[in-house]
Structure 1
Amino acid sequence: MIDGLADAGEVTPEESLGARIREFRLARRISLRALALLAHTSPGFLSQLERGQANASVGTLRKLADGLGITLPDLFTDDDVTRPKVLRREHRPEIHTSNLTSKYLLSQKPLRNLEVYVADFLPGGNSGDAYTHGDVQEMLVVISGSVTLELAGAEYQLNRGDSAEYRTSTLHSVRNTSAEPAEVMWIISPPTLGAP
């Protein structure tokens, strides 16, 4: 760097940060204006930030990260977006729900284009009361056993290999009313801030 200017072809820290913010924003299909509103800043400033032409305070970066559903360190990681990632079964992060249900996050953070969970339901296990999270596409796939899926008050019996697709804004819940364990997978795209 000479006189504060980056060498031709060299990416500045500001450009790198801006590119990551833009990458996450586009992956979540959030408009520049919507993200600026969430971060209490202007779309013009956010546009400059994404192009590496402005600096943001830590407070603004925290608001941007919250609006994107990521952590502040996710904006500064050197992880290569295209690098393959392997997650071993024994290293899955568990989301404690109940003694009858074990839920695991399969998508590795930071979440980019999709969010994937699996859950093991013992007989009587459930995902809790019907809930919503955001308004994006969600697919439930039954890997083994059978479960009852409640969607907007209607119930559907799903067996191994069955799937259902719906918006995350639809009230939904899953329960195992059978005498055998069941395993399901949720696939959500783009990622939402709330987990199933």
Structure 2
Amino acid sequence: MSDLGTRIRVYRGMRGMTVRALAGEAKASPSFISQLERGQTSASIGMLRRIASALGITVADLFNEDDEPAHRVVTRAERPELATGPGTRKFLISQRPLRTLEMYAGEFDPGSSTGDEPYTHGESQEIFLVLRGSLTLWLGPAGSAAAHPLGPGDSVEYRTSVPHRVVNDGDETAEVLWVISPPTPSAGEAAAGQAAAVEAEQS
């Protein structure tokens, strides 16, 4: 239990989450999370699942005592793909368990977008970089968002709490990167779930 608690505390620190924030995400009391991190109490499997989900990892990651590898190589063909809208593709670059940052690669066909409405996720720092093609990143609430036309090599940095939306209004497929630090709960949970699904299909 002491080792488990230590790993929970380490992952929480990597995510930049307070004890109270983790407790809220996991539907537990801050005192319980604090006692669990100190190895003074145990948790049910259901509770561990909620804690792992809030941290963007799996329950197995909480019990993994293997040393962190010096490096991890992921080929383009091995990148887990996340579910997205028509004409778009999004791939997880940073591998589970998500630690201090998360990175995604994306592709937008002409006329495609991240959706009709801008979205937010957590309160992190996000960098959006265009590798190929041209598109527009909208920042701000719907109806008053500012348009930022971007071409190859252009980037924008913003908080994930700011509503944002991406539209490919060019005539070729655009390729982009997202870098987010620390990982946001919603994005981290989706990435972990999708990666686990891909691993299950390949096993």
Which range, TM-score by smaller chain? Answer: 0.7 to 0.9
Shift of 1:114: 0.7
User: Is 1:165 equivalent to 2:157 in the alignment?
Assistant: yes
User: Is 1:137 equivalent to 2:129 in the alignment?
Assistant: no
Alpha-carbon displacement from aligned partner over 1:46-84 (angstroms, at most 9, x marks no partner)? 233223332222222122223223222221223433531
Matching residue within 180, 185, 201 for 1:193: 185
Matching residue within 111, 115, 119 for 1:128: 115
Q: More deviation in 91-100 or 160-169? A: 91-100
Aligned length: 183
Distance 2:166 2:19 in 1: 35
* Residue correspondence of structure 1 range 173-184 to structure 2 within 5 A: 173-184=165-176
Distance 1:67 1:162 in 2: 32
Distance 2:164 2:32 in 1: 38
| Structural RMSD (CA) | 1.9
Structure number with higher relative contact order (C-alpha < 8 Å, ≥ 6 residues apart): 2
What's the secondary structure of 2:83's corresponding residue? strand
Alpha-carbon displacement from aligned partner over 1:89-136 (angstroms, at most 9, x marks no partner)? 001111132442111111101111111111111211212131111111
- Confirm or deny: 8 A CA contact 2:133 2:151 kept in the other structure: yes
What's the secondary structure of 1:183's corresponding residue? strand
Instruction: Tell me the amino acid that sits aligned with residue 96 of structure 1.
Output: A
Shift of 1:183: 0.6
Alpha-carbon displacement from aligned partner over 1:135-192 (angstroms, at most 9, x marks no partner)? 1111100111111101111111011111001111111111111112211100011111
The higher radius of gyration belongs to: 1
* Residue correspondence of structure 1 range 5-20 to structure 2 within 5 A: 14-20=1-7
**Contiguous gaps of at least 5 residues in structure 2:** 191-203
User: Is 1:39 equivalent to 2:26 in the alignment?
Assistant: yes
Matching residue within 62, 75, 90 for 2:49: 62
Q: Return the TM-score normalized by structure 2.
A: 0.82
Q: Which residue of 1 aligns with 2:99?
A: 112
Q: Which residue of 2 aligns with 1:27?
A: 14
Identity, % of aligned pairs?
52
What's the secondary structure of 1:16's corresponding residue? helix
Alpha-carbon displacement from aligned partner over 1:11-30 (angstroms, at most 9, x marks no partner)? xxx22211210111101111
Q: Return the TM-score normalized by structure 1.
A: 0.85
Distance 1:43 1:103 in 2: 35
Q: Which residue of 1 aligns with 2:136?
A: 148
- Confirm or deny: 8 A CA contact 2:85 2:115 kept in the other structure: no
What's the secondary structure of 1:156's corresponding residue? strand
Q: More deviation in 184-193 or 46-55? A: 46-55
